[in-house]
Amino acid sequence: MIQISRTIRIYFFRNGSSELLKVATLNFKKNDSSLYIIPYARNNSYRIGQKSFAQHDIEATLKFNENETSENIPHLSIHNSGQVHVRIPQLNQIIGPCKIPSFSRLNGEHVASITCDSFDALQIEEENKKHKNSQRIAIKIGDNEESRRVLICINGNEERFVVEDCYSYFHVKHKPEGLKNPVWVGIFSIPQDRLNAPDVEPGVTIISGWDPTDRSVKQEDFLYIRGL
């Protein structure tokens, strides 16, 4: 059982609206720097798996296999050691791992992305709903925007991040019990075009597992969770 000490809930909202659109949760453990990310799924259905892409590709198309479906809530784990995997706690099932540098070797690089195909994929938070031991991060979206992605960056040494052209950002400092140094997590957001075709159900997808510090490899593996 993972002992969660802190939860960050990420939402989008439109200017002038009180409605919060649920994107994902980030969970931190009590006694280490591990980070657990879960996408919201309005239909409580998930696709999980592992794929690869060319290192210098700016865009990649993901095709999801129906056999990878789960109705149990998975989380994408990014551990202080650099191990990344997808785990379904209810089934004790693990997919991966992939390997990134340990947090002490990360200096603000982009290690995970959370992408919504369109805002139609997002469920509205219940009005006045309270969450214990959680922090809310609400990112404003423009009137003409169709979609956004959220970049997760990690720095195990200082509050500094390697990102550009981001419209919204938040910095989170996590100091686990018994550990000397905190870890800094940067949460950045970028508008993008709608991603899903009209006949494809929109979802929220988390990907992670590539090494952001090594540009010499030709092919990168990554893990994903897609919430529908």
Cβ atoms of 93 and 123 within 8 Å: the answer is no
Token digits of residue 102:
């340990």
Cα first-last separation, the chain: 25
Q: What is the pLDDT of residue 57?
A: 56
CA distances in angstroms from 148 to 119, 145, 203, listed in the order given: 8, 8, 12
In this structure, what DSSP letter does residue 73 have?
Answer: P
Q: What is the structure's pLDDT at 223?
A: 95
Task: Report whether pLDDT(227) > 80.
Answer: yes
pLDDT exceeds 80 at position 98: yes
Q: Which amino acid is at 212?
A: P
Q: Name the pTM for this structure.
A: 0.91
39-84 pLDDT per residue, tens: 999 999 999 999 887 755 555 566 665 546 778 999 999 999 999 9
CA separation for the pair 189, 114 (Å, rounded): 9
How many angstroms separate the CA atoms of 26 and 111, rounded?
A: 14
pLDDT of 228 strictly over 80:
yes
For the chain, the structural domain boundaries read 4-227
Q: Which amino acid belongs to residue 155?
A: N
Q: Are 204 and 227 in contact (CB under 8 A)?
A: yes
Cβ-contact 120, 146 below 8 angstroms: no
In the predicted model, is pLDDT for residue 38 greater than 80? yes
Above pLDDT 70, what percent of the chain? 89
- The mean pLDDT of the chain is 88
CA distances in angstroms from 97 to 49, 93, 94, 114, 160, listed in the order given: 11, 12, 8, 19, 27
pLDDT band at 165 (very low <50, low <70, confident <90, very high): low
- Residue for token pair 């006694």: 31
> How many distinct helices (H) and strands (E) make up the chain?
0, 15
Determine the average pLDDT of the residues in 86-95. 90
Which residue blocks in the chain are alpha helix, DSSP H? none
